[in-house]
Structure 1
Amino acid sequence: MRKFLTLFVMLMLSGILAFSQNRVVSGVITDDKGVPVEGASVRVKGSKTGTAADLNGAFTISVPSGATLIISGVGITPQEIAVGNQSTVNVTINRSARVEETVVVTALGIRRSEKALGYAVT
């Protein structure tokens, strides 16, 4: 009976370890000129897990095995990176040439483009 109980406990513990296959992935996000990109968003595709790159473009995130990272941000072309079994993922992104339209939210919460307002915006 003791061997059976020991075997049962070992099987239960191995099942728990099999389901917790998250690991920590770190890396650095740079642009095509090698300059670190601060504030870029790093998310795990299909989940709510995410982080942001620091001032040096470095990030650290916990991901499940076989995950895909989505790198995005203001002025960045969104990019998907398959992690695989890597623990370090260094990403080179392309700056977006798209110009964002300026939107101003007034005191009443009404959204207007900057050119449609009748007063100065600073």
Structure 2
Amino acid sequence: MKKQSVFLMLFLMFAMFKLHAQNKTLNGQVKTITGSSLSGVSVRIIGGTTNAITDEAGNFSISASPGDSLEFSFVGFDSKHIVVGNENNITVTLNEKTNSQLGEVVVTALGIKRSERSLTYATQQINGSEVSKNKTDNFVNTLSGKVAGLTITPALQESEVLLK
């Protein structure tokens, strides 16, 4: 009798763990108010480690449990939070920020965005006005001679870029 109750207790404990961790694949698409798809939107589970990014058609796929809260964020758009329900496909619409101006952001070599004041090393900036002064067919060639350590070798169609 004691053996049976131990097995029954173990069975119920494993069944509860199995029911608790039932993730499903949630597919969806992110669009603007006008209906055009947004690529590069960050989709993440709040309080979790699972992330996804939308493809060029605005589609995403993420593994989530019902009740998880998803955050959709993209530069120039308001973030949106959605609670996962029983549906397998969703469509999310992001609203453009009306009066936002992009502040000064520095993208480091690893792609990490930081404030310029928090960096402990020298940086260089090129403004859009400096780039627009040189009227060339290839945008990369306009950067030639403007950034230290940047070597640009012009070619027939594409330029070769080397940053030391």
TM-score by length of 2: 0.58
Q: Partner residue of 2:55?
A: 54
- Aligned partners of 1:24, 1:109: CA distance in 2, in Å? 44
Q: Partner residue of 1:42?
A: 43
User: Helix, strand or coil: the match of 1:101?
Assistant: coil
> Which runs of no fewer than 5 residues in structure 1 stay unpaired?
115-119
User: How much identity, in percent, do the aligned residues show?
Assistant: 30
1:43–1:71 contact (8 Å) kept in structure 2: yes
- Aligned partners of 1:101, 1:95: CA distance in 2, in Å? 16
Q: Partner residue of 2:89?
A: 88
- Aligned partners of 1:103, 1:76: CA distance in 2, in Å? 17
Structure 1 residues 102, 34: closer, same or farther in 2, change over 3 A? same
Q: Partner residue of 2:28?
A: 27
1:44–1:63 contact (8 Å) kept in structure 2: yes
- 1:109: how far off? 3.6
Letter in 1 for 2:82: I
Q: Partner residue of 2:68?
A: 67
TM-score by length of 1: 0.75
Letter in 1 for 2:76: G
> Which runs of no fewer than 5 residues in structure 2 stay unpaired?
107-115, 132-142, 144-164
- Aligned partners of 1:25, 1:53: CA distance in 2, in Å? 13
Q: Higher relative contact order by CA 8 Å / sep ≥ 6: 1 or 2?
A: 1
- For residues 29-54 of structure 1, the C-alpha deviation after alignment (integer angstroms, 9 at most, x for no partner) is 00001100000001111222111001
Larger radius of gyration: 2
| Structure in which a larger fraction of residues adopt strand | 1
- Aligned partners of 1:22, 1:35: CA distance in 2, in Å? 30
Alignment length (residue pairs):
117
